[in-house]
Chain A
């Protein structure tokens, strides 16, 4: 099995208190599903936010629901609130 390299995950301001104020964290994940799983394990304080809903921006494209989405090695990954529209 290929080992997944560590990557930087950027966080919106609302998540930072759950990771000791950091603007970003480093995790190993190759899909959004894996990312959520690892984040919840490494930072249990993020679990309520994950349950409430987090959207993931991958190189500027926002994914609200598609957790099967792959995270390319060099992609910028940014966690955002899962917002609603009208």
Chain B
């Protein structure tokens, strides 16, 4: 935990302002260096051969012709990763990056080439002969759990059930949460609704594809430049796969063109290192968009059976959900997250959720912004609207009637401390959007969302430069504006202008381990560490002033960027500014800095409420978002523009998931739409300006009250849009995306009944 994390109500001078972002000009002028922008002298072009089959045994790989091709410097297969080198806990990570005996999905890597140019490398891929034995496949989550479904992993015996099953299946694990007696609760209900909800497999859709450059030296050390959300974790995992000491691998992160969880996992990096090791040359490998879709982790496809009971006066008596989340061919923990978050917004007497992690022949599932929560919220929040309608209560009042508050036992276990779901609902109820009259052909929906926020290991250096400016160096990647936020925090602590502070992200050789940017931890955790570093530097500055004045350091206070002598006998000394102290550092003990290494915990859970107006063309099935509002608790918005951007970005992604985004597989188990033409993410013209309202309910575990804000805003949109569309067409939509064909099919089905 940070050294001083207790919230102190205070007036801010820098925090809460909206200065220009430090990375802005470089990003809009093309000067910023993303993963694919890094190059080295003599670098080779790397590319990967991928399975065309959804499920196949790999009988043999003949690379001899490719190796003989002029210009080819290395070909690697799984044989190039020696079993003795690989940390056993990373075997499945390696298996996903380079298949062993089985190709588990369309797009699974089976071999890789490094050659002098792209043309030669691609030609070499064509010369690699892979002998496959095609196996039966299953890509649908509900088909995969059937007893006669093709078995993906013969060693998969369901975890989390007692006793462990004697027979292998595609259910990797089961997890259960809840309290009370749901059967008793249902017996007390006047109305019970049961439904199945499905969500399509959505990709994070980051604009920048995965890219890295690796340079492995014959002395066993290596450098890697990579687009990632966590270069320290990438280092640890790559070193663990290649049998290296972590200290011998230095990883430098690039600017990041979106991650949203997809860049918290390895996909190409160990392969690029292995190619460089074998070729003894630097190797650059950049995924194509087709590869990004086929072989880097989307979110789970899901199928959720939900049952809720309510009395005539509108009291929920029981809630039950079984959630099946596809995790690709490797065990994940995604259904567990869905089961934990599903009913977290509400105070329920009897609640039970069961999550099933299901193996399918699809790419390995990765985290996607509040992973697993949007799908569960789609089911629960749709049901909340339906129940509200049944008992004749407005959706917002029905939610307020059951809203979780301090002292409520959460559906995932613990009793809540102070939380913000109630205030977001109250704000929504009073928001001009909620009160606005709908235009003809418009309908309104709303939904709530929950997400955990994290902290984690954080390390930072604060250096006072000789001219009195300050550099804050952190090791947690800036994905969504952390450098601006951290510069504001340092300006606040030191009492100097924002423009006098530079925030940089260190490589893995320059700081201790920092956890990756996930769980909305970036600003929360790094700011705790930065504050700690600043306060150490201030202690040192006061000591230096004491030396110059020849008085006791305890007789010095740091105020507004200056050292002030205090006390009757010294009060007449003129203050020493940061610039004075920095310029005299050479004579008072050398460089002035602060260093912090902490485990930041206590980020506090997060809630949001969204309001959505839609227009649905009932002839074409097309949905237009007419108005959208996000209301969320930020604790304290360090840079409000960035916070609003996070709210808007999450909502935009959720709207895309709700209306269009979906992996479509053919009967052959191959992905049919691995490109942005056929996998349609929203563009500016698809969306209205998304309104935001930041609530600031301080987090007691941060000196400024900061919470994480990056993820929760993607949780409500699937249901908010779903509730609006259902109201518009008079049919309950139970599957996302609610694409035009699906809406027309729902209308046809309703008409034929």
User: Could you tell me which A residues sit within 8 Å of B by CB distance?
Assistant: 10, 12-14, 17, 21, 57, 59-66, 68-69, 76, 78, 80-81, 83-86
Q: Mark B398-418, 1 if CB is under 8 A from A, else 0.
A: 000000000000101111110
Q: Are A21 and B160 in contact, CB atoms less than 8 angstroms apart?
A: no
CB distance from A9 to the nearest CB of B (A): 12
B39 interface hit (Cβ, 8 Å) = no
Minimum-distance CB pairs A-B, first 3: A86-B261, A85-B519, A13-B176
Which residues of chain A come closer than 8 Å to B371, judged between CB atoms?
Answer: 84-86
Is B521 in contact with A12, judged by CB distance below 8 angstroms?
A: no
Most buried by B among A14, A21, A76, A78: A14
B contact residues around A76 at 8 Å (CB) = 414-415
Q: Is the CB of B417 within 8 A of A61?
A: yes
Q: Which residues of B contact A63 (CB under 8 A)?
A: 601-602
Q: Are B336 and A83 in contact (CB under 8 A)?
A: yes
* A21-B162, A61-B604 as given contacts; A81 in contact with B333, CB under 8 Å: yes
B602 and A61 contact, CB distance less than 8 A: yes
Q: Is B747 at the interface (CB under 8 A from chain A)?
A: no
User: In the complex, which residue of chain B has the Cβ closest to the Cβ of A57?
Assistant: B414
Cα distance A78–B340 when bound, in Å? Answer: 14
**CB <8 Å contact, B162 and A83:** no
Residue of B nearest to A79 (CB): B413
Q: Is B518 an interface residue (CB 8 A)?
A: yes
Candidate in B262, B368, B413, B521 with the most chain A CB atoms within 10 angstroms: B413
Which one of B385-393, B452-460, B609-617 is at the interface? Answer: B452-460
- Residue of chain B at shortest CB distance from A63: B601
Whether A84 and B1, one on each chain, are in contact in the complex, defined by CB atoms closer than 8 angstroms, is: no
Does B367 touch A at the CB level, under 8 Å?
Answer: yes
Contact A12 B177 (CB under 8 A): yes
Report the minimum CB–CB distance from A63 to chain B (whole Å). Answer: 4
Whether A65 lies near B457 (C-beta < 8 A) is yes
Dominant secondary structure at the B interface: loop
Point out which of B333, B452, B520, B711 has the most chain A C-beta atoms below 10 A from its C-beta: B452
CA distance A59 to B603 in the complex (A): 13
Partner of A86, one of B1, B162, B368, B604: B368
- Other than A61-B417, A86-B204, give 12 A-B pairs with Cβ distance below 8 A: A10-B413, A10-B414, A12-B412, A59-B417, A65-B455, A66-B455, A69-B601, A78-B414, A84-B371, A84-B519, A86-B260, A86-B261
Interface residues of B in 501-520 (CB under 8 A from A): 518-520
* Chain B residues, CB < 8 A from A68: 1
B151-172, CB under 8 A of A: which get 1 and which 0?
Answer: 0000000001010000000000
Cα–Cα distance between A76 and B407 once the two chains are bound (Å): 11
Min distance, Cβ A75 to any Cβ of chain B, angstroms: 10
Most A CB atoms within 10 A — which of B368, B457, B521, B599? B599
Question: Which B136-184 residues have a C-beta within 8 angstroms of A?
Answer: 160, 162, 175-178
Please report which residues of chain B, range 220-271, place their CB below 8 angstroms from some CB of chain A when the two chains form the complex: 260-262, 264
A81-B175, A83-B337, A85-B371 as given contacts; A64 in contact with B455, CB under 8 Å: yes
Q: B701 at interface (Cβ–Cβ under 8 A)?
A: yes
Binary CB contact string for chain B from 316 to 341 against chain A (1 if under 8 A, 0 otherwise): 00000000000000000100110010
A10 contact set on B, CB distance < 8 A: 413-414
Indicate which residue in A13, A21, A60, A69 contacts B177 across the interface (CB closer than 8 Å): A13
Is there contact, CB below 8 Å, between B413 and A86?
Answer: no
Nearest chain A residue, comparing its CB with the CB of B520: A85
Please name the residue on chain B nearest to A65 by beta carbon.
Answer: B599
Give A86 to B480 CA distance when docked, in angstroms: 12
- Chain B 258-302 residues near chain A, CB threshold 8 A: 260-262, 264
Q: Which residue on chain B has the smallest CB distance to residue A62?
A: B452
Let me know if B340 and A83 touch, CB within 8 A: yes
Chain A residues with Cβ below 8 Å from B451 are: 85
> A13-B176, A17-B162 in contact; A65/B336 too (CB < 8 A)?
no
- Find chain B residues with CB under 8 A from A17 CB: 160, 162
Complex Cα distance A69/B600, Å? Answer: 11
Chain B nearest CB, measured from A72 CB (Å): 12
Find chain A residues with CB under 8 A from B261 CB: 85-86
What are 9 A-B pairs with beta-carbon distances under 8 A? Answer: A61-B601, A62-B414, A80-B414, A83-B336, A84-B518, A85-B261, A85-B371, A85-B454, A86-B204
Whether, in the assembled complex, B45 has its beta carbon less than 8 Å from a beta carbon of chain A, the answer is no
Determine if B484 is an interface residue (Cβ-Cβ < 8 Å).
Answer: no
- In the complex, residue of chain A having the shortest beta-carbon distance to the beta carbon of B178: A13
Q: State whether B162 touches A66 (Cβ < 8 A).
A: no
Given the complex, which residues of A lie within 8 Å of B604, measured CB to CB? 61
Docked pose: A63 CA to B603 CA in angstroms? 9
Q: Chain A residue with minimal CB distance to B371?
A: A86
B residues 1-55 near A (Cβ < 8 Å) are 1
B412 closest partner in A (C-beta): A80
Complex contact A85–B415 (CB within 8 A):
no
* Alpha-carbon gap, A36 to B77, bound state (A): 42
Residues of chain A within 8 A (CB-CB) of B564 are none
Q: Are B518 and A86 in touch, CB under 8 angstroms?
A: yes
Which residue from A21, A69, A83, A85 sits with its C-beta under 8 Å from B1? A69
Q: Whole-angstrom distance between the alpha carbons of A13 and B519 in the complex?
A: 23
Q: How far is the CA of A66 from the CA of B340 in the complex (A)?
A: 22
B487 at interface by CB-CB < 8 Å? no
B455–A80 CB distance below 8 A: no
Is B351 on the interface with A (CB-CB < 8 A)? no
Set of chain A residues within 8 Å of B519, measured between Cβ atoms? 84-86
Q: Which residues in B have their C-beta under 8 angstroms from that of A81?
A: 175, 333, 336, 340
B343-376 vs A, CB cutoff 8 Å, 1 = contact: the mask equals: 0000000000000000000000011111100000
* Alpha-carbon separation in the docked complex, A61 to B707 (Å): 12
Nearest Cβ in chain B — how far from A10, in angstroms? 6
The residue that B264 contacts in the complex, of A13, A66, A80, A86, with Cβ under 8 A, is: A86
Beta-carbon contact of B413 and A12 below 8 Å? yes
Are B333 and A84 neighbours in the complex by a CB distance under 8 Å?
A: yes
Question: Shortest CB–CB separation between residue B613 and chain A, in angstroms?
Answer: 28
